Structures are given as C-alpha cells and as structure tokens.
Structure 1
Amino acid sequence: MTLPLRRALRLTVIVGECDTWHHRPLHAEIVHRAHAAGLAGASVFRGVEGFGASSVIHTSRLLSLSEDLPVAVVVVDAEDRVRAFLPTIEELLTGGVAVLDTCELLTPARPGDDAGDERGRGRHPDEPDPEGKNSL
C-alpha cells in the first residue's frame, strides 16, 4: 500500500532559545499563533550547537556557552495556508531566519477514518473535493 502524497509548504523559523516576544519565549509564541491560525501542526526542535549573525558558537557541550541555543520551529501545511501565516512571522521575527521549502506530505489514514473519506487519503479538509462531492 502506497501512502497518499499531497504538495505542502514547510516553514522553518530558526531563532535563539532566549529570544522573547512580550516576555514569552518566541518559539512558544510562534507555535501558539500557528495553532490559533488553524495550521495543521507545528513542532519545536532544540539544537545542540549552532551560530548565527554574531558568529558566536553556542553549544550544549560547554556550560559557559550553553545559553541561547538554536531553536527551530517547523510548520507544515498547504502552501496557501502557510503563506497566509507569513505576515505573523514577519511581525514576530526581529532576529533569526525563516526558510520556506516545498515538500510532499504523507498522510496515513487515522483510526476511525472512513476509507472513502478524502481526509484519510491526504486531502486537507479545506481543500476542494476533486470529484465535486462534499465529505465531512
């Protein structure tokens, strides 16, 4: 059985662990805004080593340099939904970098999904039904 594929866009925002937005960790603010925007999902990954514009290498291996490690927030959804979210990223991003990549999304059917339901075959619930049917 081959898993269904659909085109998607991956947004990766790389910031410092200590970056904040109104006294809240910036990575948490991005995740909460992505959730509020109804995006399919967002994950935060903490780096173990990295450097940015300052050229200072931050690493978890040395206690004195373990502050402000790199953090990547990854959001994946349909291209139009991610692009609609970009103004939010522009508002929040005062440092760091954001990267967009086109990708293919594998979406296995979830338990309880009807085998004939397009959601179980990788179509986002907001995408039009190619057969002109309305599925719930």
Structure 2
Amino acid sequence: MQIPKQAVLLRIFIGEDDRYQYQPLHEAIVLKAREMHLAGATVLRGAVGFGASSRLHTSKILRLSEDLPLIIEIVDSEEIVNGFLPVLNDMMSNASGLVTMEKMQVLQYGRAAADPA
C-alpha cells in the first residue's frame, strides 16, 4: 500500500472509558480504519488531561476513576480520510471528544527503499 507524499493527519481525542457497541471506542475506531483499508492508526495513552468538561483525568494511584485520555492518529490521503469521517462521526455519536485534521507531508511509509548502489 502506498500513501501520497501530501497526506492528512486525523487526530481523535477521546477517553479510555468511551464505548461503541459494547467495546472500547478506541479499539472500534482502529478496527474500522483497518477494515476500510486506511494506511495505519495508532492509539496513544495520556497520563493526564482534560477536555470540554474541564474534568481532570489522571493516572494517579489515589484516583478512583482514571478514564485516561487517548489520542488516535490516522494518516492517509485526504480523500480516503474524508471517506472515513462519516463512519467516525457515527461511532462517536455517544462520546465526548475532539477530532482534528491537518495537512502533512509523508517522508517514509513502511520500509525504506533499498540503496541501488
């Protein structure tokens, strides 16, 4: 699979406790992205954060409810990511989150080409 040098980065901010059809939302998003043949997705777990509610989410041991922040990053062509957005919108209908998209340049995807020399 190849992705164009000029691509977009879709970044999705959600909480660890968010769900979609009885499974963790972050897992559902990654699996759907894979099913739809997007170039790749990564889930990053934050140690502390807050969102629209201003409620602090932290990994401190004395907290009863962690609900740590998660960031899902997906990179692909703008056309393919735009095709994924309606699906993502449906999946996030019961979650409070933030979705951003920015243009970016892909320097390498997969293994580097072998040196012909």
| Fold equivalence (TM over 0.5) | yes
Matched residue, 1:97: 98
Distance 1:92 1:61 in 2: 29
Distance 2:74 2:109 in 1: 18
Q: CA RMSD in A?
A: 2.2
Residues 19/78 of structure 1: CA separation in 2 closer, same or farther (3 Å cut): same
Matched residue, 1:120: none
Matched residue, 1:14: 13
- Give ranges in structure 1 of 5+ residues lacking alignment: 117-136
Residue identity opposite 2:52 in structure 1: A
Could you say which structure has the greater relative contact order, defined with CA pairs below 8 angstroms and 6 or more residues apart?
A: 2
Residues 55/62 of structure 1: CA separation in 2 closer, same or farther (3 Å cut): farther
Percent identity for Structure 1 against Structure 2: 40
Equivalent runs, 1:25-64 vs 2, <5 Å:
25-64=24-63
Cα distance, 1:97 vs. partner?
1.0
TM-score (norm: length of structure 1): 0.74
Distance 1:83 1:68 in 2: 29
Aligned length: 111
TM-score (norm: length of structure 2): 0.85
Distance 2:46 2:23 in 1: 19
Q: CA contact under 8 A between 1:15 and 1:71: conserved in structure 2? A: yes
Cα distance, 1:6 vs. partner?
0.9
Residues 109/21 of structure 1: CA separation in 2 closer, same or farther (3 Å cut): closer
- Give ranges in structure 2 of 5+ residues lacking alignment: none
Distance 2:13 2:106 in 1: 21
Q: Which range moved further: 45-54 or 57-66?
A: 57-66
Residues 65/10 of structure 1: CA separation in 2 closer, same or farther (3 Å cut): farther
Deviation by residue 1:10-37 (Cα, 9 ceiling, x = unmatched): 0011100000001100000000000000
> Max radius of gyration: which structure?
1
